Amino acid sequence: MGLLTIPISNSALMRRILLLTLLGLSVAGQAAEGQQLRWSKTLERIASGVVSIRVDGTRAFDTEWNQSTQATGFVVDAKQGLILTNRHVVTPGPVVAQAVFLNQEEVDLVPVYRDPVHDFGFFRYDPKALKFIQPTELELVPEAAQIGRDIRVIGNDAGERLSILAGTIARLDRAAPDYGRGKYNDFNTFYLQAASSTSGGSSGSPVIDIEGRVVALNAGANSGAASSFFLPLDRVQRAFDQVRVGAAVSRGTLQTMFVHQPYAELRRLGLKEATERAVRQAFPDQTGMLVVKSVIPGSAAAGFFEPGDILVQVGDQLITEFVPLAAVMDDNVGKPLMFEIQRGGATLRQDLTVDDLHNITPAEFVQFGDAVVHDLSYQQARHFNRSLSGVYVANPGYVLGTAAIPRGSVITALDGKAMEDLDDLEMALAAIADGQRASVRFISFDDPQNEKLRIITIDRSWFPSQRCQRDDHSGYWPCRDLAAGPAPKPPVPRSTSFTPSSDRRADRVAPSLVLVNFDMPYTVSGVSEKHYHGTGVIADAELGWVVVDRNTVPVAMGDVRLTFAGSLEIPGHVVFIHPLHNLAVVGYDPALIGATPVRSADFVDRRLKPGDELWVIGLKGDSKLQMQSTAVASVSAANFALSRTLRFRDANLETVAVVNAPSDYDGVLVDSRGGVVSLWSSFAVENGRDMEQVNMGVPAELVTEMIDRLRDGEPLHSLEVEWRQMPVASARKLDLPEHWVKRYEEHNPERRQMLAVMRVVAGSPAAEFFQPGDLLLSIDGEVLNTFREVERASQKDRVNVHIFRDGAELVEDLETAALGGRGIDRAVMWAGALVQEPHRALAVQRGIEPTGVYVSYFGYGSPATRYGLFAGRRVVEVDGQPTPDLDAFLAVVRDKGDRESLRIKTVTWNNMVEVITLTLDEQYWPAYELLRSGNGWRRVTLN
C-alpha cells in the first residue's frame, strides 16, 4: 500500500515553515535567556572572591624584570586568606603585592608558594584586615574541564576593573605556550585552549563553568588569534592541599623536557607494536605517548635519556601523559625509580634518582654595583642547554653594564676563579678591593658555546653590596652586607710614549690628546645615557686638566678614566662643568703617567672665516689617532631645540662648521702649524624622541677663558638671557631709531645685526626686567651685537642694560648671576626615586624657578613607579609640609618608617599640580644620600 500524500500549495507550505521557525526561535530564545540568567547569578555569587592584584617586582630575577604590573587572583581559602594566581604574578623573585577586592578594600599580600615550573602560585592575606567584605571561596574542580564546556574568565582584564569574557573549551591537550627564549615558559604539561581572547591584567583569572566551579587557571593568550591558554588544575589542586595545611610542596624532576607525540610519529621513532597495543588497551582514549625532547647536560638523566626516547614505564606503571609522570616524581623526590624507554626499537631500563625541583630553583641573589645575579636556574639552563652551574646575570646594573656584559649572561669565572654558584662569587668578591679591576668570563644567549672576556671595576661606593635570601615565612628577602674587601692599593705610576706619524701637525697635537671614558651610575639632570667616550685636550699638563665636551662628561656624577697613547689608562675626576657652554674639565694625577711626554695644547685665539684651511685631529673609541684636512664652511649661531628630558642645551654660541666634516670622532681643529684654533666637539641634540650627536667647532677662546677663570678661582658671570640674532633691517621694522641703526652699522659693518631676547632664566634678576623680543641696545654704554661680546661684558657683578621695547627705550641696572662649575654635588635615593635640587636647565629652558626637589629617576618595581612619582616632576610638599629644597625635603621624610603612607604634592614641568599618595618600602628601597666629597663621591645611609 502506498504512502498517503496531501498536496499543499506553495503559500501554505511557506506559512507552515515560518510558523515552525518562529516556534523554534522562541524556544531557543527562552533557553538562551534562561542560560544567561543562570550565568548572571553564578557570576554575582563568585565575584567577591576575585581580586585585582598589584605587583611590584622589586628586583630583576631569573626570567622576570623588576617592574610594576597588575593581574588577577581569586580566593581559594577564605579562612586562611589564600589566593591562587599565576607563577609569573607571584614571580620567582622578591615582590611587594596588594589585593584589591570587589568593594575596593585593599590588603597586603605575602607570597607563600610559586611553582618551580608550572604557571601557578599562591599569595596569603590576613583575613582580619578585611572589614567590609566576606569574599566567596572559589572551588577548584580539575575534572570539570571538558571539551565543549562553556566557560567564563572573570578578572582584571588589561588592568581595568573586573571584566568577564566568554568562551568555550576547544582543546585539552594544547602544548604549553612559548613566550620566547630567555623568558618564563611552562613545560611538561598540557594546556587547555579556548576560543576566548584575554589580555594583560587577566593573568591569574579563574576559568569557571556555569556552576561557578573553577575548571582551569588563565595563563596567557595568543595575540595573533582570539584564543586563550588555560593551565589545568591537577597539580594546582595537589599543591593547594599541601599549602593550606602548612606542608612543603614536594616537586620532583629528572631535569628532562618531554613532548607528547601521536602514535604515527612514535612508530617512526621505533615504538614496538606490542607496546603500542598494550598502551592502547590500557588507555583507549589516549592518542600518543611522551617522548624525550631535551635533557639538561650534567644531570643524572643525561647519562641515560636521549632526545627521541619514548617513555614507556616508571616503576611498574605505564606512563603516557604529563600528570601521571609528575605525580610519581613529586611523590618520590630523592628516591630512585626505574624508567623504561624505547629507542629505535630497543627497550632500555635504568634506575634514576628524582631530583628536588626546589633545590635547583634559585632563592637568593647577590646585588653589587647595581647588578643582580643568582645561581643559574632550571628555567634558564634549558635555554642555554647547559648544566646548572654558573652565576646568572638577571640585571647587569652599573658594574657589569659598563663592561658590556648583558642581561641573560652566565658568569663562569671572576678574577680567574671558576664560578659554580653564589658562594663562589661571594668568596671571589671578598678578595677584590673597591675600585680594583677584575676579569670576567661569561657566555650569553647569543653565543652560548663561546666564552667572552671583559674587565670590570668593582664598585662598593655607588651602590650597596648585599646577599639576599628568600624567607617563605615572612615573604621577604632579608639581606646581609657583603664583605668590604681588602683595602684598595694605591695606583702604580707607569709611562708610555706616542707613536710618531707622517704629519708634523699630528705629531705636535698627539701628546695633548687623551681618550676620556665617563660612566654614570645614576640618571641625573635629565641625562639618561650611562656610558660615554670622547677626545680630551690637555689644557694644563702640570695640573692634569683635560678639556672635553659635555657630550663626553655631561654631569659631575660619574667615574672618569683617561687613556694616554692607547696604552696607559688611569682614573680621573670631574673638575669643572661649564654652566653655559658645551665644555667640561676632568683632572688626573700627573704622577700616575710617569715620564709619558704629554704637553699642554697650544690654543690659538683666532677668528675663523669661511675658506680657512684647517685639519681635524682626534681619537676614535679605540684610541687610534685620526686626521683629515678640511676648510671652514661657516661660522654661525648654534640653534638647538629645547630638551624634552630637560638636559643641558647650549645657547648663545657661534660654532664652526667645516667641509666634509668627520662625524665618527671628535677632537680639535688645528691650523697649518698645529695650533688648536677650535675644539671639534660633540653635541647631544634631541630630535623628537631621538637623541642625536652632531660635531661642531667651539672657538679656542672659550676654552682659554674657562681655564684662566678656573686657575684664578673666579666664578663665571651671566646676564641669564638667551639671545637670538636679528638683522638690522628687521629691527628697523620695529621702529628702531635711526641713530641706533647707524651705531650698529658702524660697530660691525660686516655683521649688521642686533641681539633680541629669546628667553630668560627663571628666578634671575633678568627675569624681572627682560621680555621676549626686547632689542639689546647697549651694556654699560657699549654697543654689542655678538654672543661673545655680551658674555665678556657681563663678567662683573652688575651691568647697566639699555634695551628697546615697543617703541620705547628702557635702562636698568641689573645684577648678574655668579655661576659655579661643580654641577650636581648631591642627590638622594628615596622610595626608589632619585631626587636632586632642580638643575639649571629647568630654569633656562622652561622658565621653572628652582624650588622643590626634582625627580631625576625612578626605579622600576619601586614605590615611585607604583604610585606615579615619575621623573620630571618636582616635589613641593610632603604631608602638607613645604619642601623648597633638599634639606627641607629630608627633614620631612627622614623619620618616616617602612610601609608608612605619605601625601606628596608634585608639580610637572608645565606647572600642573598633582597630589599622590605613596607607601614607603624600606625593605627593598632603603633611602640613602650621595654626596660629592673632594674629587669623589660617597654614599650615606639615611635611616
Set of cell numbers at residue 627 = 686626521
**What is each CA distance from 791 to 677, 720, 723, 755, in whole angstroms?**
19, 10, 11, 12
Helix (H, G, I), strand (E, B) or coil at 717: strand
Residue closest to 864 by CA, chosen among 33, 67, 43, 29? 67
Residue type, 320: T
Spell 455-474 as b/e; 16+ CB within 10 A means b: ebbbbbbbbbbebbebeeee
- Residue 931 CA to residue 915 CA, distance in Å, equals 29
State the DSSP string of 197-261: ---GGGTT-EEE-TTS-EEEEEEEEETTTTEEEEE-SHHHHHHHHHHTTT-----EE-SEEEEEE
Cell of 272: 614496538
- Among 853, 849, 800, 816, CA closest to 831: 853
What nine digits make up the cell of 892? 620631612
**C-alpha cell of residue 916:** 599622590
Catalytic residue among 88, 533, 747, 839: 88
For this structure, is 196 an active site residue? no
C-alpha cell read off for 943: 635611616
Per the structure block, which three cell numbers stand in for 540?
A: 694644563
Point out which residues pair with 84 in neighbouring strands.
74, 122
Closest CA to 441 of 465, 469, 422, 413: 413
What is d(CA 594, CA 183) in angstroms, rounded to the nearest whole number? 51
For residue 918, CA distances in Å to 3, 402, 834, 900 come to 86, 32, 15, 8
Q: Determine the 3-state secondary structure of 34 from DSSP.
A: helix
User: Rounded to whole angstroms, how far apart are CA atoms 698 and 654?
Assistant: 8
Q: State the burial class of residue 743 (Cβ atoms within 10 Å of its Cβ: 0-12, 13-18, 19+).
A: middle
d(CA 291, CA 175): 13
The dihedral formed by the CA atoms of 90, 409, 449 and 255, expressed in degrees to the nearest 10:
-20
Please identify which of the residues 56, 119, 186, 666 carries the catalytic annotation.
119
Query: Is 88 a known active-site residue?
Result: yes
799 - beta bridge partners?
814
Sort 479 into a burial class: Cβ within 10 Å, 0-12 / 13-18 / 19+.
buried
> Any alpha helices (H) in 305-360, and if so which ranges?
322-330
Whose CA is closest to 301, among 314, 320, 319, 317?
314
CA dihedral for 519, 521, 522, 528, sign (positive or negative): positive
For 873, the grid coordinates are: 616632576
Nearest alpha-carbon partner for 757 in 737, 777, 771, 769: 771
How far apart CA 516 and CA 561 sit, in angstroms, is: 6
CA 397, CA 465: separation in Å to the nearest integer? 12
CA Rg value for the chain: 36
Q: What angle do CA 436, 442, 445 make, to 5 degrees?
A: 140
DSSP of 101-126: -TT--EEEEEEEEE-SSSS-EEEE--
Q: Considering 48, 68, 196, 202, which one is annotated as catalytic?
A: 202
- Identify residue 606 by its one-letter amino acid code: R
The amino acid at residue 569 is E
Burial class (CB in 10 A: 0-12, 13-18, 19+), 2: exposed
Report DSSP state, residue 589. -
Quick check: 503 and 510 in contact, CB under 8 A? Answer: no
Q: Is residue 119 annotated as part of the catalytic site, yes or no?
A: yes
Task: Calculate ∠ Cα 257-183-241, nearest 5°.
Answer: 65
Residues forming the active site: 88, 119, 202
